[in-house]
Copies of this chain bind each other. A is one copy, B any other.
Amino acid sequence: MNNIKRAVVLLSGGLDSATVLAIAKSQGYECFTMSFDYGQRHRAELDAASSLSHAMGAELHKLVTINLADFGGSALTDERIDVPVLPAEGIPVTYVPARNTVFLSLALAWSEVLSVSDIFIGVNAVDYSGYPDCRPDYIAAFEVMANLATRQCDEGGQLKIRAPLINMSKAEIITKGSELGVDYSKTVSCYQADQQGRACGVCDSCRLRRDGFVAAGVTDSTKYQT
């Protein structure tokens, strides 16, 4: 029983987090997946996350509702701010204030109840949108904080925040996921996917994803709206 490693895996339903789930499974973890209904406009990713979790053999999938749209401040949660079609200077308007901190905190709460030692997150600091909460020093600082925050750690447990994609290019991520058998047609990356999960093809996230498939030499199975 003690040899079983358990992990909470943050699963958005996108390409990156699906690859992370495959990596965690390949490393022998029992995986508990967690998604967030945070008021995002691209809600098709939530259906994708649930399907992926089941298809990829996770133990349990938890959908947590936390209305970050109530705070505003992001194109992803505020219909009045358009999702841009061109790469931005600096941090783009699709940045959601403190999103990864909120998600990791809730993963920390669940991980303590489950006696989990590892939290996996699909952040990436190479082919990404410049969000501050995707960088290695941020992840390292969260881990330090988390190891002071909980009863589990107070009693000698060590919590690891695993970000296996953090230094990989999008092409490397796709190559790795393909080797592990990830079905990318089931993933939704687009910031404004329609209800069927079809991608717009023009947002930052679509652009990074499409370029990644080309660079990896892998057929792009993404469903586009047009």
Write the residues of chain A forming the contact surface with B, with a CB cutoff of 8 angstroms: 62, 64-68, 70-73, 91, 95-102, 104-106, 108-110, 112-113, 132-133, 135, 137-138, 141-142, 144-146, 148-151, 153-154
The reply to whether A113 and B149 contact each other, CB–CB distance below 8 Å, is no
Q: A97-B110, A99-B109, A141-B145 are in contact. List 11 more A-B contacts (CB 8 A).
A: A62-B70, A66-B106, A98-B150, A101-B108, A101-B109, A101-B145, A132-B149, A133-B148, A133-B149, A138-B148, A141-B141
Question: Shortest CB–CB separation between residue A38 and chain B, in angstroms?
Answer: 10
The reply to whether B146 and A144 contact each other, CB–CB distance below 8 Å, is no
List 4 tightest A-B contacts by C-beta distance, closest first: A98-B109, A97-B112, A141-B145, A73-B113
Question: A106 vs B104: C-alpha distance in the bound complex, in angstroms?
Answer: 11
Given A66-B66, A145-B144: A112 in contact with B73 (beta carbons within 8 A): yes
List of B residues within 8 angstroms of A65 by Cβ: 65, 67
The reply to whether B112 and A132 contact each other, CB–CB distance below 8 Å, is no
The reply to whether A137 and B148 contact each other, CB–CB distance below 8 Å, is yes
> Which B residue's beta carbon lies closest to that of A130?
B154
The reply to whether A72 and B102 contact each other, CB–CB distance below 8 Å, is no
Question: Shortest CB–CB separation between residue A97 and chain B, in angstroms?
Answer: 4
The reply to whether A151 and B102 contact each other, CB–CB distance below 8 Å, is no
**Interface pairs (5), CB distance under 8 Å:** A96-B109, A97-B108, A101-B146, A133-B150, A141-B148
List of B residues within 8 angstroms of A138 by Cβ: 145, 148-149
